[in-house]
Amino acid sequence: MEKEISDPTLAVSGQRGPVSHERRIQIIESASEHFRKNGYKKTSVADLAKAIGVSSAYVYRFFESKQAIGEAICGLALGKIIAAMHEVANSDMSASNRLRKLYTTLLDKGLEIFFNERKLHEITIEAIEGRWCATTQYHETKYEVVTKILKDGRASGEFERKTPLDEVVIAIVETLYPFSHPILLQQSEPNVLHQRAVAVSNLVLRSLAP
Amino acid sequence: MEKEISDPTLAVSGQRGPVSHERRIQIIESASEHFRKNGYKKTSVADLAKAIGVSSAYVYRFFESKQAIGEAICGLALGKIIAAMHEVANSDMSASNRLRKLYTTLLDKGLEIFFNERKLHEITIEAIEGRWCATTQYHETKYEVVTKILKDGRASGEFERKTPLDEVVIAIVETLYPFSHPILLQQSEPNVLHQRAVAVSNLVLRSLAP
């Protein structure tokens, strides 16, 4: 009882909480798959509900609009990239290798998640144009993992310690953009992007030499 | 006569060549101004012709469609950025200072040309979405000016000479994107972009230290 009172979300949803959460994730994943195959723009909530075998009313119990589903898909996709960044930062490789790996991980995950057979997903384009994908946590994670890797590398003696840490973090986060922003990823072939990611991480590591 | 035969463009347009060129530039500049104020999407060639005081037929003598005018506006805008990059590369500053200046020049020119009171011009968005702006020469210029500055800095002893030149050029060109691509420029405030450009050029210069 006390827990329910201190957590209004749980108090409201009661026993249905966890079950609803599971169903919500299922709807998001089915919707994501459906939009991937059939496009986002021309699919209505009714089409989507039919395709995943539930009623429109059921979908509306979880999401107030198609865009709300889009936002959830976007959040789930960015969540996967965020998790992959943390995995790199927390791995037991040297700081230099973790930094290298951060470039290729962002690139590989981005190509996997935002694209479909080398074409940007329609939902990615809609999210960028309509600016309805919440990217704050994603951006914060970039700063967080770069800061962690830099601190570790400074502590281990791999990286120089003279330049203010904040300035270096800001600069490195900027150099990640060409390998993480969908619009930039779409302008080049994956193998060219990989070569460039290696060239940039080499340049960054030379700048960090003690 | 011989000149006309060896240059088919001149042979066809004859005496009208240079005059047509001037009128073409005038139409492009008026159109650019008109689209800037009234939007690109909803303006027809007829609206445009009326606004700049000529007949639609006259405009069609120079451009086969509204998009062809858009492409010309785009070419003229990128031409200004290309000229600014060459000016930086050919100035008499040290290689280090020219490299710094390249970041801020791309940023300032981009904000000036692609934006209108901090909002992306509609024609910029259309050009990116429709991919009808020819950016090849613009991209080649980035490689060209970075190569020149690096070679000069290596010759003067400002920059290290161990890393293959091509690899360094590729990496530096990538680090220019956050300060030159309209979609990335629109995501942050100009003063924040300036701070980041300084942080990135400092990082790049540390990586180039002999």
A150-188 pLDDT, tens digit each: 999 999 999 999 999 999 999 999 999 999 999 899 888
Contact between residue B98 and residue B146 where contact means Cβ atoms under 8 Å apart = no
Determine whether the interchain pair B168/A203 forms a contact, defined as Cβ–Cβ distance below 8 Å. Answer: yes
**Confidence (pLDDT) at B145:** 98
Is the CB of A196 less than 8 angstroms away from the CB of B172? no
Query: Is residue A194 predicted with pLDDT exceeding 60?
Result: yes
Q: Cβ of B170 and A204 within 8 Å?
A: no
Say yes or no for a CB contact (<8 Å) between B170 and A199: yes
Of A9-13, A30-34, B70-74, the poorest mean pLDDT is in A9-13
The CA-to-CA distance between both ends of chain B, in Å, stands at 57
Give residue A19's pLDDT band: very low, low, confident or very high (50, 70, 90): low
Share the mean pLDDT of chain A: 88
8 Å CB contact between B166 and B109: no
Q: Do B175 and A203 touch (CB under 8 A)?
A: yes
ipTM: 0.85
**What is Dmax (Cα atoms) for chain B?**
62
Helix axes B190-208, A165-176, angle to 10 degrees: 100
B119 - beta bridge partners? B116
Q: What is the DSSP letter of A186?
A: T
Distance of alpha carbon B55 from alpha carbon B47, whole angstroms: 10
Q: Where in chain A is the domain with CATH 1.10.357.10?
A: 71-210
Average pLDDT, stretch A191-209?
A: 97
What number of CA atoms fall less than 13 Å from residue B69's CA on the CB side? Answer: 30
Choosing among A122, A163, A177, A208, which should be mutated to test the B contact, i.e. which has the most B CBs within 10 A? A177
- Chain B partners within 8 Å of A170 (Cβ): 195-196, 199
B171 to chain A nearest CA, in Å? 5
Interface A-B, measured as beta-carbon pairs within 8 A, has a size of 68
Q: Which helix (H) or strand (E) holds A30?
A: helix A16-38
B203 CA: distance to closest CA in chain A (Å):
6
SS (H, E, C) chain B: CHHHHHCHHHHHHCCHHHHHHHHHHHHHHHHHHHHHHHCCCCCCHHHHHHHCCCCHHHHHHHCCCHHHHHHHHHHHHHHHHHHHHHHHHHCCCCHHHHHHHHHHHHHHHHHHHHEECCEECHHHHHHHHHCCCCCHHHHHHHHHHHHHHHHHHHHCCCCCCCCCHHHHHHHHHHHHHHHCCHHHHCCCCHHHHHHHHHHHHHHHHHHHCC
Q: Where in chain B is the domain with CATH 1.10.357.10?
A: 72-210
More reliable by pLDDT, A13 or B26: B26
Listed in order, the ranges of chain A carrying CATH 1.10.10.60 are 1-64
Dihedral over Cα of A87, A93, A95, A100: its sign: negative
- Highest-scoring range by mean pLDDT, A25-34, B51-60, B145-154: B145-154
Name the residue in chain A with its Cα closest to that of B197.
A171
Mean local confidence (pLDDT), A48-63: 90
If pLDDT is split at 50, 70 and 90, which confidence band does A41 have?
A: confident
Could you read off the pLDDT of B78-107 as tens digits, one per residue?
999 999 999 999 999 999 999 999 999 999
Is A203 touching B (CB cutoff 8 A)?
Answer: yes
pLDDT of B10 higher than 70: no
The pLDDT tens digits of the residues spanning B144-178 come to 999 999 999 999 999 999 999 999 999 999 999 99
What CATH homologous superfamily does B1-64 map to? Homeodomain-like (1.10.10.60)
Residue A132 makes CB contacts below 8 A (sequence gap 6+) with A67, A70, A71, A74, A126
pLDDT at B23: 84
Residue contact A177–B172, C-beta within 8 A: no
Partner A contacted by B168 (CB < 8 A): yes
Tokens matching residue B146: 């970075």
**Chain B residues touching residue A183 (CB < 8 angstroms):** 128, 181, 183
Report, at the CATH architecture level, how domain A71-210 is classified.
Orthogonal Bundle (1.10)
Indicate the class that CATH gives domain B72-210: mainly alpha
Q: Percentage of chain A surpassing pLDDT 70?
A: 90
Residues of chain B in contact with residue A203, where contact means CB-CB under 8 angstroms, are: 168, 171-172, 175, 204, 207
Q: How many Cβ atoms sit within 10 Å of the Cβ of residue A133?
A: 18
Identify which of B177, B184, B199 has the shortest CB distance to residue A167: B199
B163: Cα within 13 Å, side-chain hemisphere: 24
A131 in contact with B, Cβ within 8 Å = no
Please calculate the CA angle B75-B79-B82 and round it to the nearest 5 degrees. Answer: 135
Put simply, the answer to whether B171 touches A207 (Cβ < 8 Å) is no
Q: Does B187 touch chain A (CB under 8 A)?
A: no
The pTM assigned to this predicted structure is 0.86
| A104-133: average pLDDT | 86
CB contact under 8 A, B170 and A195: yes
Q: Does B181 touch chain A (CB under 8 A)?
A: yes
Residue A134 forms contact with B (CB below 8 Å): no
B192 touches chain A (CB under 8 A): no
